[in-house]
Structure 1
Amino acid sequence: MSKRKIEIMDTTLRDGEQTSSVSFSASEKLTIAKLLLEELKVDRIEIASARVSEGEFQAVKNITDWASSHNYLDKVEVLSFVDQGVSINWMIEAGAKVQNLLTKGSLNHLIHQLKKTPNQHFIEVSKVIEQAQQQGIETNVYLEDWSNGMRNSKAYVYEFLEFLSTQPIKRIMLPDTLGVLTPKESFDFVKEIKDKYPNLHFDFHAHNDYDLGVANVMAALKAGADGLHLTVNGMGERAGNAPMSSTIAVINDFMPRITIGVNEKMLFTVSKLVENFSGVMIPANKPIIGANVFTQTAGIHADGDNKKNLYFSDLMPERFGRTRQYALGKASGKANIQKNLQQLGLQLNDEDLKKVTQRIIELGDKKQVVTKEDLPYIISDVLDRTYEEKVKVNSYVLTHSKGLKPSTTVSLTIEEETFEANAQGDGQFDAFMNAIRNVFKNRKITLPNLVDYAVRIPPGSRSDALCETIITWKQPEKEFKTRGLDSDQTVSAIKATEKMLNIIIN
């Protein structure tokens, strides 16, 4: 079965940069361009609109200089305009060799925006194409608002296509400019055009206003489209463009008669770089590249993965340079925890695993997801409990106000007897310790001295990470350490102190 090669043109640096509040610097554009062509291996990149700004000119010049020295110049494209050669001159100075000429693909746009007849427009377009050819610039032509043109002024679209079929151009580009097409329309319109002009190259350019971008792309490919325009992370004006990551996965998995040159293993790397440069965060549930899409949360799913990979599909994370994760939280079962322990190279016996599981469920009720990096701290915290629990801190109130000394009121039970105490201190934890000392002073028990207090969170964690507090205590005859674990630093210190109280009582 012969396969049809499809061109993938990335327009992140042009159409994607029209995302609200996004503007790439010249160096960022060059870095992204290099990755797109050398690592992701797209066929072409559209990098800018002509004559926008001096900064845009410099960005294009940097890219064309690099592309020229690496034999990529014919893959670098610039959006140009029907402007009596102004865009052509701009491109010549910037070193660009391929123009994507923006023309009117609907009669509505032509009449109300340009206020011209079809014949006037065609004559002006032909002059720009001729000027480009004289300067050694290759031309592709955009039919702006083509989708509405096919809906409402089809005769005009075919009149335009008939004209373009006589011109020295390489590609005709069919954009769903406002993202209004359905998959059926995408298929019908593209097939109708390809049947009439089988020898012309047509690109399909989908927007995502109804979240139909990928579906429309599939329909257009089935209808015979020769190329696609995509953006990294689906960036673009309004709801964005058809996303690169999902489209590539869909083509590879569901369209066996189509072949593409994109290296899907680099999709995640490029997506994260664009996320950082653009400041537009990738939603956690974004297919292929989102933080959660290869994360199993339910324990039954992790158990199924252990039993013949029951919850696996062809959408394996390794294809995209990622790994499967198993979330730790209140929905976790032992299978989730075992998967994370395997990744950390740790093993627990059944009894300890049960204790750790219960602790993670407790933490999950307060902190939705416990990270893999938290796990060693949780194990340390749980397995550190080698004493009989005779002291329990029931409740406490910690106050901290500007201009007033911090104070604490605490209630604790010691061997089934409950006490309350209040004290002030230099900080909230110092006030808590003073209140505790007041209780134990009445029982003629001297508390050990605090000689070291260390706080840490797992590497790479966020501000809501689990926090481990390790306190070193000194008694006349020995030193010992206790650990506390919580998402709140002061609470984790209180838990470490509760362990200390149990050790000295026991």
Structure 2
Amino acid sequence: MDVRIFDTTLRDGEQTPGVSLTPDQKLRMAIKLDELGVDVIEAGSAITSKGERQGIKNIVSEGLNAEICSFARAVKVDIDAALDCGVDSVHLVVPTSDLHIKYKLRKTREDVKQFAIDSTEYAVDHGLLVELSAEDSTRTDFGFLKEVFQAGIDAGAKRICACDTVGMLTPEKAYKFYGDLTELGVPLSAHCHNDFGLAVANTLAGLRAGASQAHVTVNGIGERAGNASLEELVVALYSLYNVKTNVKVGMLYEMSKSVARMTGIYLQPNKAIVGENAFAHESGIHADGVIKKAETYEPITPELVGHKRRFVLGKHVGSHIIRERIKEMGLRVDDVRFDQIFSRIKALGDMGKCVTDVDLQAIADDVMGILPEKPVELEELTIVSGNKVTPTASVKLKIEDVGKLEAGVGVGPVDAAIVAIKKTMKDVVDIELEEYHVDAITGGTDALIDVVVKLRNGDRIVSARSTQPDIIMASVEAVLSGINKILSDKKIREAKNPEF
């Protein structure tokens, strides 16, 4: 079977606490979702606000391939707002559980069924495709749930959707629940929430039982614990069930990063499929196996979803990874020196330290008796910051014995200093700050500050650290250490391949 993907990132996903997208952000995200290949984009709830309607109109006017849908309650005013936006369909939602009917709506079952009939007929009469959705359907009397759906189908609904609104299903219950609803004979959607961490599993069970469409969000964002994750569901269907969707799986990591940036909801590192640790290996046994044959410790290749494999240096690291990294640095070490490097890395790991690329370079250089090369050095740093003062930094760097001076502004003094450094380096190397992490190692106002950064240069990511009592100086030194590592590696590659 083929499965349709109904993406509700722009509606249910935007209901994540703290997330509010502008019309422009919604349009950019919708264009990416359409490029990704989802079948339906729920662009929002048109009744919400003037800005929401403008955002939906912008998406509709783009002429995307996906069906554009608006969420609507079973009331005329919501449907009119959707019609005003020019959408293709409405996701028409009626609460069906006695809990919702009694305490939220304060109506009767017959009232709810009539709302479903009247609103469906009104929407269909005005040219909209209706997907009739039952809110809190998994806590609804099943006989009444089927009555509401059948009444909606008779009124012209082309699809039905059963919402596990507070994530009460288990995979076993989901299989029976959605299987029984397929008897109504129209396309059925599974809409599962993740309150117990089962949204993807329950959606898969619903699809196995005969549902033909899955409601999902990118990164699984949404209210409370979120919704079924688009990337997890699609890759599980592709890899474990051999079931097709129209989604381009090679774009999933890129899509995930884009949504994280626009919403400000960043992923935990161990997030399946798209997390930064999804294809990261530290254990020596695992890393050695992956180097020899990736399938030993990876169920899918990172390239399948547009991700990258990486190896982490820590106390579990194996000798194979260290040897590979040292080779990449252009160094040749005998067994005695290698053992010294390896034991020092293990010692740092035992102290609870993460070993960055710059740490490894420094350890190797020290063991080899090589003076570390610093193409870029800090000569002057001036910071101006305070109440009602825009944080400003002036940075003077010596780049290959040539002095360059630039200034930058930012949301804080550290941000301003990094902006100034990037401006100074713009004609030398293109860098982007991927991650910035700070810890106070000791207590008190004079605490030592440990700053770890990750810098991106093209498809290469370099990590670096600096520990200082001054957070600004620690941040600047960490960034400059990373830049020097990038430039040194570039020289090594160019020496090996003059046409690089």
- How far apart in 1 are the matches of 2:109 and 2:329? 67
Q: CA deviation at 1:97?
A: 2.5
Q: Which residue of 2 aligns with 1:226?
A: 212
Q: CA deviation at 1:486?
A: 6.9
Give yes or no for the alignment of 1:30 onto 2:30.
Answer: no
Match of 2:158 among 146, 150, 170: 170
Q: Deviations over 1:247-270 (max 9, x none)?
A: 1121112212x2211111111111
- How far apart in 1 are the matches of 2:329 and 2:8? 40
Give yes or no for the alignment of 1:248 onto 2:248.
Answer: no
- How far apart in 1 are the matches of 2:187 and 2:164? 17
Q: Which residue of 1 aligns with 2:125?
A: 134
- How far apart in 2 are the matches of 1:6 and 1:45? 15
Q: Which residue of 2 aligns with 1:423?
A: none
Q: Which residue of 1 aligns with 2:428?
A: none
- 1:189-228 superposed matches below 5 A: 189-194=177-182, 196-197=183-184, 199-228=185-214
Q: Deviations over 1:287-330 (max 9, x none)?
A: 11111121111112222234444733332211111221111122
- How far apart in 1 are the matches of 2:146 and 2:432? 60
SS in 2 for 1:488: strand
Q: Which amino acid is the alignment partner of residue 245 of structure 1?
A: E
Whether the 8 Å CA contact 2:290–2:298 is kept in 1: the answer is no
Q: Which residue of 1 aligns with 2:82?
A: 91
Task: Give unmatched runs, 5+ long, in structure 1.
Answer: 387-455, 468-484, 494-506
- How far apart in 1 are the matches of 2:339 and 2:60? 61
Match of 1:299 among 284, 293, 300: 284
Give yes or no for the alignment of 1:263 onto 2:248.
Answer: yes
Aligned-pair Cα RMSD in Å: 2.7
Q: 1:351 to 1:323 in 2, by over 3 A?
A: farther
Whether the 8 Å CA contact 1:80–1:101 is kept in 2: the answer is yes
Name the % identity: 34
Q: CA deviation at 1:487?
A: 3.7
Give yes or no for the alignment of 1:9 onto 2:6.
Answer: yes
Give yes or no for the alignment of 1:160 onto 2:148.
Answer: yes
Q: CA deviation at 1:49?
A: 1.3
Q: CA deviation at 1:337?
A: 1.5
Task: Give unmatched runs, 5+ long, in structure 2.
Answer: 372-424, 426-430, 438-449, 454-463, 478-500
Match of 2:436 among 448, 462, 486: 462
Q: Which residue of 1 aligns with 2:17?
A: 20
Q: CA deviation at 1:98?
A: 1.0
Q: CA deviation at 1:91?
A: 1.6
Q: CA deviation at 1:344?
A: 6.1
Q: Which amino acid is the alignment partner of residue 99 of structure 2?
A: N
Equivalent pairs counted in the alignment come to 391
Q: 1:344 to 1:222 in 2, by over 3 A?
A: farther
Q: Deviations over 1:16-56 (max 9, x none)?
A: 11111111111111111111111x21111112112111221
- How far apart in 1 are the matches of 2:110 and 2:45? 26
Give yes or no for the alignment of 1:311 onto 2:285.
Answer: no
Q: Deviations over 1:427-477 (max 9, x none)?
A: xxxxxxxxxxxxxxxxxxxxxxxxxxxxx9x9846354569xxxxxxxxxx
- How far apart in 1 are the matches of 2:24 and 2:47? 19
Q: Which residue of 2 aligns with 1:78?
A: 70
Whether the 8 Å CA contact 2:3–2:245 is kept in 1: the answer is yes
Q: CA deviation at 1:161?
A: 2.4
Q: Based on CA coordinates, which of the two structures has the bigger radius of gyration?
A: 1
Whether the 8 Å CA contact 1:204–1:228 is kept in 2: the answer is yes
- 1:97-112 superposed matches below 5 A: 97-112=88-103
Q: Which amino acid is the alignment partner of residue 20 of structure 2?
A: S
Q: 1:79 to 1:356 in 2, by over 3 A?
A: same
Q: Which amino acid is the alignment partner of residue 462 of structure 1?
A: Y
Q: Which amino acid is the alignment partner of residue 155 of structure 1?
A: G
- 1:267-416 superposed matches below 5 A: 267-309=252-294, 311-341=296-326, 348-366=333-351, 368-372=353-357, 374-384=359-369
SS in 2 for 1:462: strand
Q: 1:119 to 1:368 in 2, by over 3 A?
A: same
- How far apart in 2 are the matches of 1:310 and 1:275? 29
Q: Which residue of 2 aligns with 1:488?
A: 467
Q: Which amino acid is the alignment partner of residue 71 of structure 2?
A: L
- How far apart in 1 are the matches of 2:330 and 2:155? 65
What TM-score, normalized to structure 2?
0.72
Whether the 8 Å CA contact 1:12–1:235 is kept in 2: the answer is yes
Q: 1:139 to 1:24 in 2, by over 3 A?
A: same
Whether the 8 Å CA contact 1:326–1:339 is kept in 2: the answer is no
Q: Which residue of 1 aligns with 2:40?
A: 44
Q: Deviations over 1:403-428 (max 9, x none)?
A: xxxxxxxxxxxxxxxxxxxxxxxxxx
Q: 1:261 to 1:338 in 2, by over 3 A?
A: farther
- How far apart in 2 are the matches of 1:304 and 1:6? 35
Q: Which amino acid is the alignment partner of residue 3 of structure 2?
A: I
SS in 1 for 2:71: strand
Q: CA deviation at 1:110?
A: 2.5
Whether the 8 Å CA contact 2:116–2:152 is kept in 1: the answer is no
- How far apart in 2 are the matches of 1:42 and 1:303? 38
Q: 1:338 to 1:91 in 2, by over 3 A?
A: same
- How far apart in 1 are the matches of 2:212 and 2:105? 29
Q: Which amino acid is the alignment partner of residue 216 of structure 1?
A: N
Q: CA deviation at 1:375?
A: 3.6
Whether the 8 Å CA contact 1:82–1:128 is kept in 2: the answer is yes
SS in 2 for 1:8: strand
What TM-score, normalized to structure 1?
0.71
- How far apart in 2 are the matches of 1:100 and 1:270? 24
Q: Which residue of 1 aligns with 2:61?
A: 65
